[in-house]
Chains A and B, each alone.
Chain A
């Protein structure tokens, strides 16, 4: 089995999940409390990667981080190497690709928190940030864990975006799903079966955990 590919996948999934936790959580909270008129546009953008073919998303990310784009040029100027076909470029694409799997459960959990609890906290003189950390987050923990588990599992198995943005560089951008594809191309069904089993098992465990959490989670209030 290609342990190098598994490691790349796990590393990619872990960092993607971490970034989505740090950036996605406040963003999801903002989405759930704002009364902004145009928020539906942002909500649609968040879910878009679920509908869009990974090749399309991959294509746009590739163009956006390529050496001709401002972002690609700035990055190359700063680091000395290109963003496309690198682990960092792959990470960027993964964050977009898995965003709905994190932000949607987060936002749904926050929207479920009784608005009056938030207001009660404000009236007790507690700032918005502290209210977010002490009331909104603890009361949404089941949804937050769901979002983290789903985005980890989803990133672990991504294929199309990786192929478009990362290429197939062993130890750098060659993930487990790419490895499976290569094994099948090489008619090595034994290797493909092992790697597939790993993905199947991890996905099933992830979904079981989220379903268990959503049955047990919350405070019933």
Chain B
């Protein structure tokens, strides 16, 4: 049987909700698990418990056939004995040691030759050659990040824990490192658990995503599945579905349901029964806009006529708010916005394909 990391634990706090974590991940091959959620969701606490830096009150953590933590028999293995790598959000490099001594810090017991070999290997892989003699204060954020990664990886950890690894970096460095990180970790084949609140990182890096909110795991699965089909409105909001509206199924024909939202009607593919209340999720990028109130024949099943209420530029794209019985948000490129001459108060038709309308059943 493939070894697994199995964790089911609960940590209480005097102020704030308890953190409850359930996690089940394979260890035999490389896989990156993402703990995703808004700040304050308990992601970092969960990671610290896995590292042994924090101690939960209840539950257990098993790593393969080792018990790392078990509340029922009072076992708590020290972080020193877990053979993990932990990457702190602000890297926690030792400011009084050079880059080389930072990297070598955890492997002083190895022989001289082996130590040199390992350091050379990682400075090569992570592009740190030439920086060995510098102090952390003399490095850029991206370089510090890579030194921290090298320092953790040089010990050959059995599990890598990453706390918001790209959070403190500027945008270009961040994109570069996001691409590199996945490549390095795949190459070294070390299973990893990463905390992030960034959707792009979760989608771009993760093999498995665990959505946390208010201390609880809300949903888990492959990132595409979780992001495309959130199980409840809270998860939908966390994974960043722009339009979430309450509605009711009023008709159903051939698996195509008509949902009423306020005075508007939408068609969606759904299993929900007539009369049931649903949460309608539509991504802003799935909404197409046409000028005027008359739509031509198109494959999109939903034609919503409305008036533009807001236009907010976000870099190369524009977020358009349309009042069509409810406030619908659409994303268009800046170019399209210019060409169509979109402006506040203009009448438009929003086109949405039925499969892009996701329904979440509400109790």
B-binding residues in A (CB < 8 A): 114, 116-117, 119-127, 135, 138-139, 219-221
Contact = CB atoms under 8 A, between A and B. Distances in A.
A-B CB proximity, top 7 nearest: A124-B106, A219-B95, A221-B95, A123-B86, A120-B92, A116-B92, A122-B79
Contact of B94 (A119, A125, A135, A220): A135
A221 to B, nearest CB: 4
B87 to A, nearest CB: 9
B53 A122 contact: yes
A119 B86 CA distance: 9
7 contacts: A119-B86, A121-B105, A123-B79, A124-B152, A125-B81, A125-B83, A127-B80
B85 interface: yes
Interface residues of B, number: 23
B14 to A, nearest CB: 12
Given A123-B51, A124-B151, A220 B137 contact: yes
Interface string B49-81: 001010000000000000000000000001111
Contact of A139 (B84, B85, B96): B96
A194 B275 CA distance: 101
Interface in B73-128: 78-81, 83-86, 88, 90, 92, 94-96, 105-106
Contact of A123 (B85, B95, B136): B85
Contacts of A120: 86, 88, 92, 94
Given A122-B53, A123-B85, A221 B137 contact: yes
Interface of chain A: mostly helix, strand, loop or mixed: helix
Interface in B182-223: none
Contacts of B86: 119-120, 123
Contacts of A124: 105-106, 151-152, 155
B119 to A, nearest CB: 14
Q: Name the residue among B78, B83, B92 with the largest chain A CB count within 10 angstroms.
A: B92
B53 A123 contact: yes
B80 A126 contact: yes
A126 B151 CA distance: 13
Contact of A125 (B53, B88, B92, B155): B155
A127 B152 CA distance: 16
Nearest to B89: A116
A114 B137 CA distance: 15
Contact of A119 (B79, B137, B152): B79
A122 B80 contact: yes
Contacts of A125: 80-81, 83, 106, 155
A119 B85 CA distance: 11
Given A119-B86, A125-B155, 14 more contacts: A114-B92, A116-B88, A117-B92, A120-B88, A122-B79, A123-B53, A123-B79, A123-B80, A124-B105, A125-B81, A125-B106, A126-B80, A138-B96, A221-B136
